[in-house]
Amino acid sequence: MKRIGKDVPVSGLNRRSKIILLFFAFLIVLASVAWGSSSVYGASQDEPAYTPTPTSTPGLVVYGVVRYLNGSGVENVNIYRSYAGYQGVLIATTDETGFYQSDFYYIPGDEMVTVWAEKPGLVFEPEFYYWRHYYSYQMKKCNFQAHLPWVYYFPLVSLQ
């Protein structure tokens, strides 16, 4: 085998070294392509700015129906949403059929979400929905069933 200098054979590199060298060459090519297409060069172009759509932006839309036990819709029920450690906020109110849908709410990452329904004089089942929202776009269905609160009256017996 021919040698260049004292200790370096002509074949020079073993298989592992060749793979590492090829990997770094690939990284250099990627970096140069990224540099060439960076925003510095594209800033002067007259292209419309990208505006994220709800399906490409992480966040949440809550929707569902609130019904009585007989199946009819409950009107004017307030639907609230809260994130872990925050107060609840009103996100929707049901229509005459009991349907509601919130606006889109941006959520930048993972978040614990709670949704519940309120209307004076009614009790709702389930009491609330609680889940972990991951970094994504989500449409969450939360249906509630409404009924009057169960009140138990115990008769008073008086002895004379």
For the entire predicted model, the pTM comes to 0.61
Angle at 55 between CA 107 and CA 77, to 5 degrees: 65
What average pLDDT does range 147-153 have in this prediction?
75
Tokens of 135: 């970094």
Rounded to an integer, what distance in angstroms lies between the CA atom of residue 38 and that of residue 32? 10
Length of the chain: 160
Condensed to tens digits (0 to 9), the pLDDT of residues 18-53 reads: 777 777 777 676 666 555 544 443 333 343 444 445
Condensed to tens digits (0 to 9), the pLDDT of residues 65-94 reads: 999 999 999 999 999 999 988 899 999 999
Which residue ranges form the domains of the chain, and what is each CATH number?
59-147 (2.60.40.1120)
Q: Which of 101, 149, 100, 159 is nearest to 123 (CA)?
A: 149
In this prediction, what percent of the chain has a pLDDT beyond 90? 48
